[in-house]
Structure 1
Amino acid sequence: MSDATLPPSLAEIREEFLALAERDRLQLLLEFSRELPGLPPRYESAPGLLEAVEECQSPVRAFAEVDGDVVHFYATAPQEAPTTRGFASILAQGLSGLSAQQVLDVPDDFPLMIGLTRAVSPLRLNGMAGMLTRAKRQVREQLAA
């Protein structure tokens, strides 16, 4: 898949990973884990508003919110789960600010496109795919409402 089919934010993240040697990509993922944006106060005080991501081995909660036609993706992941937290951060940074249609058009296999298939377990990649699948479903539900 070419970067041309990805929104610029996710294409840039993908390029950052693919520009590195495979062994260095895990380090970049750890950097992303430290950059997971905090929750807005309305979610911080009511984490139940965020949906549990069952595919993740760690307790992850996420929610994609459509405001006008702009999507904001919020997620929580424990500090002691840096891989999962890194994936949540990639999606929070890559999906937030996109239009609803851009989010819906993100390829379902985006987690496989960033060059980590040999660095992290398929189970962890499945967790990121689960976060993306939920974000898309939540966007569709809000557009339909």
Structure 2
Amino acid sequence: MSDTTLPPALSAIQEDFLALEIRDRLQLLLEFSNELPELPERYQDHPDLFERVEECQAPVFIFPEVTDEGIFHLYAMAPAEAPTTRGFASILAQGLDGLTADELLAVPDDFPYMIGLTEAVSPLRIRGMLGILGRIKRAVRQQLADRA
């Protein structure tokens, strides 16, 4: 799929990764892990809303939300001891936030392969990011179907 189909924030993230040498891409991923957005206060005491992403080696929990206005937000929790997984969640939280549900669903399923990390992290870890994106899309489709 063409890079031009990426929403602006994801496109910028992709450009940032691809502009770096392979060894530096891992460092950028670690920087993203430190930038995972905090949970809004209204969700901090509601772990029941979050789904564990079983495809990830480390525990990561997500709560994809489409507002009544149709705007997407991703809330995620991952331990600091799992910087790769935290970084993946952060990339998706930052790159997808504010999209419409349709824009989100149009993001290529293989986006994790498009940011040049396949040489920097193991295929198993990339599968985890694919799992996060897949679960986000499934949850958004379900939310839309529940409203229909």
Q: Same fold (TM over 0.5)?
A: yes
Q: Percent identity?
A: 68
Q: After TM superposition, give the deviation of residue 87 of structure 1 in Å.
A: 0.3
2:96 is equivalent to residue 95 of structure 1: yes
Counterpart of 1:133 in structure 2 is: 134
Tell me the SS of whatever aligns to 1:74: strand
Q: After TM superposition, give the deviation of residue 3 of structure 1 in Å.
A: 2.3
CA distance in 1, matches of 2:113, 2:55: 15
2:33 is equivalent to residue 29 of structure 1: no
CA distance in 2, matches of 1:133, 1:63: 13
Q: Which runs of 5+ in 1 are unaligned?
A: none
Q: Which runs of 5+ in 2 are unaligned?
A: none
Counterpart of 2:48 in structure 1 is: 48
After the TM superposition, which parts of structure 1 deviate over 6 Å for at least 4 consecutive aligned residues?
Answer: none
Q: Give me the TM-score of the superposition, normalised by structure 1.
A: 0.97
Q: After TM superposition, give the deviation of residue 42 of structure 1 in Å.
A: 2.3
CA distance in 2, matches of 1:43, 1:60: 15
Contact 1:43–1:50, Cα closer than 8 Å, also in 2: no
Tell me the SS of whatever aligns to 1:129: helix
Amino acid at match of 1:32: F
Amino acid at match of 1:17: F
Q: How many matched pairs?
A: 145
Q: After TM superposition, give the deviation of residue 56 of structure 1 in Å.
A: 0.6
Q: After TM superposition, give the deviation of residue 47 of structure 1 in Å.
A: 1.2
Counterpart of 1:13 in structure 2 is: 13
Tell me the SS of whatever aligns to 1:118: coil
Counterpart of 1:118 in structure 2 is: 119
Amino acid at match of 1:71: F
Q: RMSD across aligned C-alpha pairs, in angstroms?
A: 0.8
Q: Give me the TM-score of the superposition, normalised by structure 2.
A: 0.95
